[in-house]
Structure 1
Amino acid sequence: MKQLLPTSTAGSLPKPSWLAEPEKLWSPWKLQGETLTEGKEDALRVALQEQQQAGIDIVSDGEQTRQHFVTTFIEHLSGVDFENRKTVRIRDRYDASVPTVIGPVARQKPVFVDDAKFLRQQTDKPIKWALPGPMTMIDTLYDDHYKSREKLAWEFAKILNQEAKELEAAGVNIIQFDEPAFNVFFDEVNAWGIACLERAIEGLKCETVVHICYGYGIKANTDWKKTLGSEWRQYEEVFPKLQQSSIDIISLECQNSHVPIELLELIRGKKVMVGAIDVATNRIETAEEVADTLRKALQFVDADKLYPCTNCGMAPLSRKVARGKLKALSAGADIIRKELAAGK
């Protein structure tokens, strides 16, 4: 029988201190060459074990083999120059030094497929794998070749589709596309962003997710959130069209955010990964707080379509805090499963 309310994480988990400096995004590797490859595999095993011990149902690699959720994928493509960097404004929030697109972008070889095969060998549980979405990729680059955000996004969608098909063949059950940019560039999302995402999932038989969040718990994001007022209605702009799309699951942020829960009505019929863990605080939720978020979501999402999850990745947190939050997620989901079984 299929597990009711299967739990998962939105993406990254903290890296062990022997692999990279903890609690830091873009943290450089502490190892090199063969030792680094081995270290990444060990870290992936540890991330898997921590998820399993916490009772997480759909497991991931915790993004242990990548420095960053977007740029690690881009590093493997041709047409992008990492030496030639420009400063751009990312998601209209903060400046970052990013690589430059200098020619046609192409994928010369698989990026994460070997890592996915390795994870598949370690577990019988369903696996979810995260990839950056086309719009978020273009937002993390300086384009000196296509001179068109839309054209570049379509090229990335084709490349992502190649990778996704190989990940599916490697035994990945759910492929997630991270699109925090969907919360910012509403006109572009509706004009061509969702269509690009459809291109990225073309021909896939496994389940697909789009993850739209308000970002990691870093200062630039928390400062931006303070400007959004008492109600965060960004999802309202993109949900109607996503509800009509071929994407199976929509992953969003609910815990401790100002997103009105009734916006979930706009995606009724879709499966929903409800973020019930706040990743922008070190405070560990109680199981009851998680359960409360899930109860609210159940007013708008059928129980067989609800997937309890974290708001976003947990890379910037300490391992101890992340561990506690994973356990809280499992325990909260368990409370609701028992209530549903008792017919409450």
Structure 2
Amino acid sequence: MKKLLPTSTSGSLPKPTWLAQPETLWSPWKLQGQELIDGKHDALRVSLQEQQLADIDIVSDGEQTRQHFVTTFIEHLSGVDFENRKTVTIRNRYEASVPTVVGPVSRQKSVFVEDAKFLRQQTDKPIKWALPGPMTMIDTLYDDHYKSREKLAWEFAKILNEEAKELEAAGVDIIQFDEPAFNVFFDEVNEWGIAALERAIEGLKCETAVHICYGYGIKANTDWKKTLGSEWRQYEEVFPKLQKSNIDIISLECHNSRVPIELLELVRGKKVMVGAIDVATNTIETPEEVADTLRKALQFVDADKLYPCTNCGMAPLSREVARGKLNALSAGADIIRKELSAKY
């Protein structure tokens, strides 16, 4: 029998201090060559063990093998020049020095498939693998070739589809596309963003998810959130079309956010990864706080479609805090499972 309310994380977990500078995004590696390859695998094992000890049901690599959720994928593509960098404003929020698209983009070889095979060998649990979504990829680059966000997104969607098919063949159960850009560029999302995402999942038999959050707990994001007013209704713009899409699971931010919970009604029928852990604070939730968020979500999501999750990745947090939050997520989900089994 399938477990009710299977827990998972949005993706990243903190890296060990011997691999990269902790509590930092885009942190450079401390190892090189074969040592780095071995170190990433060791970190992946540690990350997996943390999830298993916390009784997380759907596990991931904790994104231990990548520096950043978007740029690490882009580094492996041809047509992108990492030496020739430009400063762009990412998601209308913060400036970053990013690589430039200088020619046709293509993928010469798989990016994460060997890592996914390694993870698959380490566990019998269902595994989830995160890839950047097409729209978030184009928002993390300077395009000097296609001169069209939409054209470049379609090219990336094709490349992501190749990678996703190989990840599926490697034994990945859920492929998640991270699309924080879906919370910003609403017209583009509805005009071509969701269509590009559907191109990325074309032909897949494994489950697919899209993760739309309000970002890591970094200052640029927390400052932006302060400008959004008392209600965050961004999801309202994109959920109706996502509800009709071929994506199986929608992953979103709930706990400590100002997202009106009733917006979940807009994706009724889809599986929903409900963010019940706030990643923008070092305060560890109590199991009861997690349960409370899940109870509210259950008004709009059927119990067999609710997947308790974190709001976003936990890379910028300390390992101790992340561990506490994983345990709280499991314990909170357990409270609700007991309540549900008493009901039925």
Aligned to 2:79: 79
Aligned to 1:10: 10
Q: Distance in 1 between matches of 2:106 and 2:326?
A: 37
Aligned to 1:243: 243
Q: Distance in 2 between matches of 1:204 and 1:328?
A: 33
Aligned to 1:305: 305
Output the amino acid matched with 1:203. G
Aligned to 1:320: 320
Q: Distance in 1 between matches of 2:16 and 2:135?
A: 30
CA offsets per residue over residues 58-92 of structure 1, 9 Å max, x none?
00000000000000000000000000000000000
Aligned to 2:277: 277
Aligned to 2:118: 118
Q: Distance in 2 between matches of 1:4 and 1:168?
A: 24
Q: Distance in 1 between matches of 2:222 and 2:108?
A: 37
CA offsets per residue over residues 142-173 of structure 1, 9 Å max, x none?
00000000000000000000000000000000
- Where do 1:207-218 residues align within 5 Å? 207-218=207-218
Output the amino acid matched with 1:19. L
Q: How far did 1:220 drift?
A: 0.2
Q: How far did 1:107 drift?
A: 0.2
Output the amino acid matched with 2:172. V
Unaligned 5+ runs, structure 1: none
Q: How far did 1:327 drift?
A: 0.1
Aligned to 1:340: 340
CA offsets per residue over residues 29-83 of structure 1, 9 Å max, x none?
0000000000000000000000000010000000000000000000000000000
The percentage of counterpart residues that share the same residue type is 89
CA offsets per residue over residues 268-309 of structure 1, 9 Å max, x none?
000000000000000000000000000000000000000000
Q: Distance in 2 between matches of 1:335 and 1:175?
A: 28
Output the amino acid matched with 1:85. R
Aligned to 1:227: 227
Secondary structure at the residue paired with 1:104? Answer: strand
Q: How far did 1:120 drift?
A: 0.2
Secondary structure at the residue paired with 2:343? Answer: coil
Aligned to 2:166: 166
Secondary structure at the residue paired with 1:25? Answer: coil
Q: How far did 1:227 drift?
A: 0.1
Q: Distance in 2 between matches of 1:262 and 1:146?
A: 40
Q: Does 1:186 align with 2:186?
A: yes
- Where do 1:16-35 residues align within 5 Å? 16-35=16-35
Aligned to 1:329: 329
- Where do 1:43-82 residues align within 5 Å? 43-82=43-82
Q: Distance in 1 between matches of 2:230 and 2:324?
A: 28
CA offsets per residue over residues 83-139 of structure 1, 9 Å max, x none?
000000000000000000000000000000000000000000000000000000000
Secondary structure at the residue paired with 2:162? Answer: helix
Secondary structure at the residue paired with 1:96? Answer: strand
Give the paired residue count. 344
Q: Distance in 2 between matches of 1:3 and 1:107?
A: 37
Q: How far did 1:213 drift?
A: 0.0
Secondary structure at the residue paired with 2:233? Answer: coil
How does the TM-score come out when normalised to structure 1? 1.00
Secondary structure at the residue paired with 2:314? Answer: coil
Secondary structure at the residue paired with 1:312? Answer: coil
Q: Distance in 1 between matches of 2:8 and 2:311?
A: 11
Structure 1 segments of 4+ aligned residues over 2 angstroms from their partners? none
Q: Does 1:258 align with 2:258?
A: yes
Output the amino acid matched with 1:255. H
Secondary structure at the residue paired with 1:342? Answer: helix
RMSD (Å) for aligned C-alpha atoms:
0.4
Output the amino acid matched with 2:275. G
How does the TM-score come out when normalised to structure 2? 1.00
Q: Distance in 2 between matches of 1:302 and 1:149?
A: 36
Secondary structure at the residue paired with 1:231? Answer: coil
Secondary structure at the residue paired with 2:307? Answer: strand
Q: Distance in 1 between matches of 2:159 and 2:172?
A: 18
Q: How far did 1:318 drift?
A: 0.1
Secondary structure at the residue paired with 1:81? Answer: strand
Q: How far did 1:229 drift?
A: 0.3
Q: Distance in 2 between matches of 1:53 and 1:78?
A: 40
